[in-house]
Amino acid sequence: MRHITESGLALIRRFEGYSATPYLCPAGYLTVGYGHVVRGPEDEMYLNEEEALLLLQHDVRRAEQAVLRQITVPLSDRQFDALVSFTYNLGAGALQRSTLRRKVNRSEHADVPDEFRRWIWAGGKKLPGLIRRRAAEAVLYAAAD
């Protein structure tokens, strides 16, 4: 199975940030570690950074699998990393419903960076952090390998 590169993983870590204790993310989800959505009471705990990194790796694998299932064209490492970051942040359902996915699968790669930049809203608000993240993903997607 294909995996995100170290630089792609670093991008996710940078934008997710680390929190040892659960907090409400801007979209209203209880979150801990590096953007892990708390699913049950067993997740509502203190996570040291090593535990958070293990959880991140597990969650990233799910995002990788979603990208591999939903994208039918060959991708460069940077394109794959950008799509995994997007899917990690927004979920497989958002990727599946998106015009971004349709444009990638039609090999309309020049149009894809603009599609990333549309996904900047959470909780009904345009968020500066999402603007920066989507811009970084767009640049990464457009960069030549």
Active-site annotation holder among 6, 25, 42, 108 = 25
Helices 49-70 and 6-16: angle between axes, nearest 10 degrees: 120
Active-site annotation holder among 16, 64, 115, 137 = 16
Q: For the residues of 23-59, what is the DSSP string, one character each?
A: EE-TTS-EEEETTEEP-SGGG-S---HHHHHHHHHHH
The kind and range of the H/E element at 126 are strand 125-126
Question: Residue 137 catalytic?
Answer: no
Question: Residue 16 catalytic?
Answer: yes
Tell me which residues are annotated as active site: 16, 25
